[in-house]
Structure 1
Amino acid sequence: MGFSLLFSFVIAAGIYSYNFSEAREPICSKFAYEEQLLEKMIRTEIKVETMVNEIKKTEDNVISTLGDIKQTFTDMFVDMRGNITDEMLKRGDEIKRREESFKKLFDVTSKNITSDIEAQLIQLKEKLEQPPVAFYAHHVKDLALDSTDEIIIFEKTFTNEGTGYDTSTGIFTAPVGGLYQFDVHSCPDKGKHTYLGLVLEGNVIAAHAYDADNTCGCNTFGTVIIVKSGEKVWVKSTWSSSNCKLFQHALRMNTFSGVLVNN
C-alpha cells in the first residue's frame, strides 16, 4: 500500500510539472503537444521505475541485513547455550566426582573410627570383666629367722581378691600383668635382728634391716613395680642367725600386702 501511494504521488508530481512547463512552452501544433506530453510521461515513468528499483534494492538490503542480524543473534545464542550447557555439565561432573571422593573418605574414616571404638570397648570390657587383684596377708607361721633365703609364710589373709596369694607357700602369683604396689610390715622380737627382702622372680626389689636394741618397734618397707602375668613375688630372710626373730600379737602384726594399681 505504501508503494502505491508513493507511485501515485510521483505520477501526480509529474503531471503537475508538465502542466506548469506547458504553460510556459509555446504550442506549435496539436501533435507537438502530444509528443512532448508523451516524452515527459515516458521520462517520468523511467524515473519512477528507477526509484522503485532503488527502493526495492534498499528494502532487500534491509531485509538481508535484518536476516543477518537475526542469524548472528541466533548463532550467538546457540553458542552461548552450548557453552553454558558444557560448563554446567563440567561443573556437574566435578561436583559428582567430589561427592564420590568425600563419600569414600567418609566411609574409610567412619570405618577406622568404628574399629578403634570397638577395640577400645573390647579392651574396656576385658578390664571390667577382670576381677580386682589385691591381697593382705598376716600371721607369720615361723617367727624364727634362722635360715637365709627362707620364705616368710603369712598363713592368713584378710583380703585375697583374684586369689593370687597362696597361704601355704607365702608366694603371690600375679593373675594379671600390670603395675603393682607391695608393702611388708615386720615386728622384730625384743633384742633380736631382722633382715628381710621383697623378692620378684628371685631378685630382691626392696629390703630392710633392723639391729637389736631395747625397743620393740615395727618397720614397713615396700615398692611399686611392673609385674608380668604369672610372675611371683614373696618375702624372704636375707640373712639369718639364732639372734634373728620376729614377734607378733594382736597389737604388733607382721603383714604382707599387694595391690594391682594399673594394668
Structure 2
Amino acid sequence: MVNEIKKTEDNVISTLGDIKQTVADFTDMFADMRGNITDDMLKRGDEIKKREESFKTSFEETRENLTNGIEAEKEKLIQLQGKLEQPPIAFYAHHLKDLKLDTTDEILIFEKTFTNEGTGYDTSTGLFTAPVGGLYQFSVHTCAYYKKYAFIGLVLEGNVIAADANYGDESHGCNNFGSIVRVKSGEQVWVKSTSSSSNRQLHQDSFRMNTFNGELVNN
C-alpha cells in the first residue's frame, strides 16, 4: 500500500509538474500574443493619427481655397454691380462756334449737343473730360469750305491721336475720322486745327454738319 501510495503521489507530482509547465507555456504564449497585439495596435494608432493629420491639413487647404475663391467672386460681383449701376457715358456735339481755321492748335468748339450722357462734354470749351477711365471711341466729322482746306486733329491730353486733311474741291467737302483709345479718369479729349492760314476754313449748313462724338466702350 505504501508503494502504491508513493507511486500515486509521484504520478500526482508529475501531473502537477506537467500542468505547471503547460500553464507556463500558455502564459508565455499569451504574453507573446499580447506583445504582438500591442505593437500592431500602436502601429495602427500611428497610421490613424497620420491620416487624421493629413485630413486636417487637406481640409484646411480646401477651406482656405474655397474662402479665397468666394472672396474673389464676391469682389467681381461688386465690381460688376458698380458697372451696371453706372450711367452710360456718351456725347454727340455739333454746330461749330467759329468756322475759320486761322489759328494753329485752336480748339474747335461744338456749342450744341444732341446727347451728353454723363455730362462729360463742355459746350463752352469744346473739351470732353472723361468721368471714368476706360476704352473710348471718338469720331469727328468736318466739312471744308469750297476751294479751301481743313486740317483737323483729334487730341488726347495734348497728343494728336487721329488727323484728317480735307479740301473742298467741286463743292463743300466732308470727311469723317476717329479713334478708339484708352482714356484715364479726368483726362481730356478735344478737336483742334492742326494748320492755319487764310485758305483754311470749314463750312456748315442745313445739309452739312460738323460733329464731334464719343462714347465709353468698356471700362
- The TM-score normalised by the length of structure 1 is 0.74
SS in 1 for 2:208: coil
Shift of 1:118: 2.7
224 and 54 in structure 1: CA distance in 2 versus 1, 3 angstrom threshold: same
SS in 2 for 1:207: strand
Identity %: 48
Distance 1:150 1:194 in 2: 13
Aligned to 1:207: 163
Shift of 1:163: 0.8
Residue 216 (1) aligns with residue 184 (2): no
Residue 248 (1) aligns with residue 216 (2): no
Gaps of 5+ in 2: none
What are the Cα deviations for residues 26-70 of structure 1, in whole angstroms up to 9, with x where unaligned?
A: xxxxxxxxxxxxxxxx9xx74x56754563354234312321232
Distance 1:215 1:118 in 2: 59
Residue 170 (1) aligns with residue 126 (2): yes
Shift of 1:255: 0.9
Shift of 1:115: 2.5
- Matched to 2:79, the amino acid is Q
Aligned to 1:56: 12
- The TM-score normalised by the length of structure 2 is 0.87
**1:1-263 matched pairs, under 5 angstroms:** 46=3, 48=4, 52=8, 55-263=11-219
Flag as ranges the 4+ runs of structure 1 deviating above 6 A. Answer: none
CA RMSD across the alignment: 2.3
Query: Do the aligned partners of 2:98 and 2:108 also contact (CA within 8 Å) in 1?
Result: yes
Shift of 1:131: 1.9
- Matched to 2:97, the amino acid is K
SS in 2 for 1:252: coil
**Which structure has greater helix proportion?**
1
Gaps of 5+ in 1: 1-41
Distance 2:39 2:197 in 1: 106
Larger radius of gyration: 1
Higher RCO, Cα 8 Å, sep 6+:
2
**Which structure has greater strand proportion?**
2
Query: Do the aligned partners of 2:166 and 2:174 also contact (CA within 8 Å) in 1?
Result: no
